[in-house]
Structure 1
């Protein structure tokens, strides 16, 4: 586990975070709230209120309490939270993988999407990886069929690598696929 970052605030255009969200590292007691946020951003009808839904690609869960708790227990790993007025608005997982940072489990509450919060969370994750581990790049994997999401990352400096990983069909911890052609593409950005 990595040391907790100093709580800080960032200005934002979103009315829910007008004073700027406070960022902090998740603690074990935050796990249920993190799981609820991730599920609301990606699965089921609630996720359709935002643009990050995977409800047309996957059913079932996106994560569970055991998986999030495991991320919190890893060395050189942090789940960053963005909060405003005590309300969890966004989260992401960042960990060191050699000379590179890995960015994942990125979730913004559907009601807080579209106001710049996601850009702030991504920037904070990149800052964290540089400051905590001195990494020179950040990478992630994105479902290839999520062209809108890949384009969003490209606008933030990430490039498609053409490197693909298979979707873990048969492992319901990652959801129940609604189509047979899912795979992940690796994206990377120099920091």
Structure 2
């Protein structure tokens, strides 16, 4: 466990699965997500993740699912996956009622530090739904750059949600970790 800015970072365990699924869902889907600015409720319905998906990340030997606590309560999470010379950053969720207060900046900086120190990686990669301009801009302010490299959204696979638009795709964002 590591403590930064009053936050405790630890690896998720099997016992965290239900809490983490609820956190991710509350940050991105449904009416609860509208309390924060990261909501996808206008572009996607249905689930963002499920217990099997979260458990798979926890069990993967190349991944870490960081659980972030403040005062003993889970307030955020993010996935780090080692992929050779770079780490992949995903499943980032901050409790909607705490969004906009600088918590995300602290968490992503700590995740980058952990990836650098743990795996010696020189880059962080992530994919973002390309129409999420506000989210892309937030990552750009953190030093990530758009690559223009797109991958299709998995239409028809409800594990990733039910799209409300037909133009969704993922864009790769990259940041050097120096």
Q: TM-score, normalised by structure 2?
A: 0.98
- CA distance in 1 between counterparts of 2:167 and 2:62 reads 33
* Root-mean-square deviation over aligned CA pairs: 0.7
The match for 1:147 among 121, 133, 136 is: 133
Q: Secondary structure at the match of 1:164?
A: strand
Match in the other structure for 1:71: 57
The match for 2:4 among 3, 10, 19 is: 10
Q: TM-score, normalised by structure 1?
A: 0.91
Match in the other structure for 1:61: 47
**Residue 8 of structure 1, CA deviation:** 2.3
Q: Secondary structure at the match of 1:48?
A: helix
The answer to whether the aligner puts 1:173 opposite 2:159 as a matched pair is yes
What does 1:111-190 align with in structure 2 at a 5 Å threshold? 111-190=97-176
Match in the other structure for 1:47: 33
**What runs of 5+ residues in structure 2 fail to find an aligned partner?**
none
Alignment length (residue pairs): 177
**What runs of 5+ residues in structure 1 fail to find an aligned partner?**
1-6, 12-19
4+ runs deviating over 4 angstroms:
none
